[in-house]
Amino acid sequence: MQRVAVIGVASSTFGDHRTTTTRALGAETVQGAMEDAGISADAIDTAYVGCALTGVLDGQESMVGQIVLRELGITGIPITRVENACSSSACAVREASIAINAGESDIALAFGIEKMLGYSTNRVMDVLTGDGDVALEGNAGLTFPGIFAMAAREHMSLFGTPREAMAAVAEKAHKNAMNNADAHFRRAITREEALRASMVSDPLTIYDCCPISDGAAAVILASEEVANNWQGRVVWLDACVLATGEYEFSDLSRFSATERASKIAYKRSGYLPGDIDVAEVHDCFTIAEIIHSEDLGFFEKGDGGFAVLRGDTQIGGAKPINVSGGLKAKGHPVGATGAGQIVEITKQLRGELKNRQIKDANVGLCHCMGGFFGGDTGSVVVSILSS
Reported residue count of the chain is 387
**Nearest CB to its own copies, comparing residues 86 and 183:** 86
- Kindly name the residue from 17, 155, 292, 332 that is annotated as catalytic: 332
Minimum distance between the CB of residue 80 and its own copies, rounded to whole angstroms?
Answer: 5
Q: Is 254 in the site for its own copies (CB under 8 A)?
A: no
Residue 70 Cβ, how far from its own copies at the closest point, in Å?
5
Alpha helices in 103-160 (DSSP H): 121-129, 144-159
Q: How far is the CB of 11 from its own copies (least distance, A)?
A: 23
Q: Report the alpha-carbon angle 259-262-267, nearest 5.
A: 125
Question: What's the distance, CA 217 to chain centroid?
Answer: 10
Instruction: Assess 60 for contact with its own copies (CB under 8 A).
Output: yes
Phi-psi map region of 203: left, alpha, beta (phi>0 left; psi -120 to 50 alpha): alpha
3-state secondary structure 334-356: HHHHHHHHHHHHHHHHCCCCHHH
Q: Which is nearer to its own copies, 98 or 197 (CB)?
A: 98
Footprint (CB under 8 A) of its own copies, residues 127-186: 127, 129-135, 138
**Shortest Å, Cβ 260 to its own copies:** 6
Per CB under 8 A, the segment of 98-106, 205-213, 324-332, 344-352 that binds its own copies is: 98-106
What does the alpha-carbon distance between residue 121 and residue 117 come to, in Å, rounded to a whole number? 9
86 is an active site residue: yes
* Cα-based distances in Å from 33 to 218, 306, 343: 6, 38, 9
The candidate with the shortest Cα–Cα distance to 4, out of 42, 46, 32, is 46
Interaction of residue 188 with its own copies, rule CB under 8 A: no
Please identify which residue in 20, 21, 143, 190 interacts with its own copies, judged by CB under 8 A.
21
Per the CB < 8 A criterion, the answer to whether 90 and 46 are in contact is no
Spatial separation of the C-alpha atoms in residues 250 and 288, rounded to whole Å: 17
Terminal CA-CA length for the chain? 18
SS3 of 275, please? helix
Buried b / exposed e along 78-104 (16+ C-beta atoms within 10 A) = ebebbbbbbbbbbbbbbbbbbbbbeee
CB under 8 A: which stretch of 8-16, 49-57, 293-301, 359-367 binds its own copies? Answer: 49-57
State which residue, 123 or 196, has the beta carbon closest to its own copies.
123
When binding is defined by CB under 8 A, the residue of 28, 45, 106, 126 that contacts its own copies is 126
**Among residues 81, 254, 328, 347, which is the contact residue for its own copies, using CB under 8 A?**
81
User: CB 96 → its own copies: shortest distance, Å?
Assistant: 10
Q: How many residues bind its own copies (CB under 8 A)?
A: 61
Contact between 77 and its own copies (CB under 8 A)?
A: yes
Q: Please list, in sequence order, all residues whose beta carbon lies within 8 angstroms of the beta carbon of residue 194, skipping any fewer than 6 positions away.
A: 166, 167, 170, 171, 205, 207, 208
**Contact characters 257-276, its own copies, x per CB under 8 A:** x--x----------------
Contact flag: residue 366 with its own copies (CB under 8 A)? no
90 and 383 Cβ atoms separated by less than 8 Å: yes
User: Given candidates 16, 28, 58, 275, which one binds its own copies under the rule CB under 8 A?
Assistant: 58
Catalytic residue chosen out of the listed positions 51, 86, 240, 284: 86
8-state DSSP, 321: B
Q: Which of 103, 181, 198, 316 binds its own copies (CB under 8 A)?
A: 103
332 an active-site residue? yes
Residue 91 vs 156, nearer CB to its own copies: 91
Given the rule CB under 8 A, which residues bind its own copies? 1, 21, 23, 52-53, 55-56, 58-63, 66-67, 70, 75-85, 91, 95, 98-99, 101-104, 126-127, 129-135, 138, 241-247, 256-257, 260, 370-372, 376-377, 379
Give the active site residues: 86, 332
